[in-house]
Chains A and B, each alone.
Chain A
Amino acid sequence: DAKTTQPTSMDCAEGRAANLPCNHSTISGNEYVYWYRQIHSQGPQYIIHGLKNNETNEMASLIITEDRKSSTLILPHATLRDTAVYYCIEDNFGNEKLTFGTGTRLTIIP
């Protein structure tokens, strides 16, 4: 079973920042938080991951709370192409088996 909790769906206006929350209250000290997204029926695409510190790359930013029980994925300037299902996943370092839940369906509104 997925160990993370995400809202089923969210809307965001085009050009605005999309903030996608994730709860992972049972995360252990050596587990990373990963974000993937799946556009339409394509294979999932890696976005970003982090352990304790906030992370940023060319696609998004990841904000992890100090107690590590939750995190937020931020798409700074959402475009229509960001419409997708976003998955937040815990990963045990050395454990190669990612568990995908049902994710958040993000719809970018023109």
Chain B
Amino acid sequence: NAGVTQTPKFQVLKTGQSMTLQCAQDMNHNSMYWYRQDPGMGLRLIYYSASEGTTDKGEVPNGYNVSRLNKREFSLRLESAAPSQTSVYFCASIPGGRTDTQYFGPGTRLTVL
């Protein structure tokens, strides 16, 4: 049981490039989330998916798109990366509709030059 996995662990992009961050969970959880964490700051919610086939915006969705491919996978796409998107990105999942425990992945450290 790997929990929540994220790929890649590190990524450097040039301004304007695109990329997709991958997240997968093997716990049969319904809901999945993407957060970003800037240096010295708390986590901010980008997008979340309450169930397979649904997605909703969080606090800071601009510049991102998401896709809930199936129950296991939730990807985050940057269509045209900007230096302001330099951050650590965390994916999380919870069993059902109630946030009693969120399980977080190890994070993806993204630098946009």
Contacts and interface: CB of A to CB of B under 8 A. Distances in A.
A99 B41 contact: no
Contact of A99 (B59, B94, B100, B103): B59
Which of B42, B59, B97, B105 is the most central at the interface, judged by chain A CB atoms within 10 Å of its CB? B42
B11 to A, nearest CB: 15
B95 to A, nearest CB: 11
B93 to A, nearest CB: 11
- Which of A2, A42, A91, A98 lies at the interface centre, i.e. has the most chain B CB atoms within 10 A of its CB? A98
Contacts of B13: none
Given A41-B88, A41-B107, A96-B97, A46 B42 contact: no
A91 B42 contact: no
Contacts of B15: none
A103 B42 contact: yes
A93 B50 CA distance: 14
Interface string A69-108: 0000000000000000001000101111111111100000
Interface of A: 2, 34, 36, 41-46, 49, 87, 91, 93-103
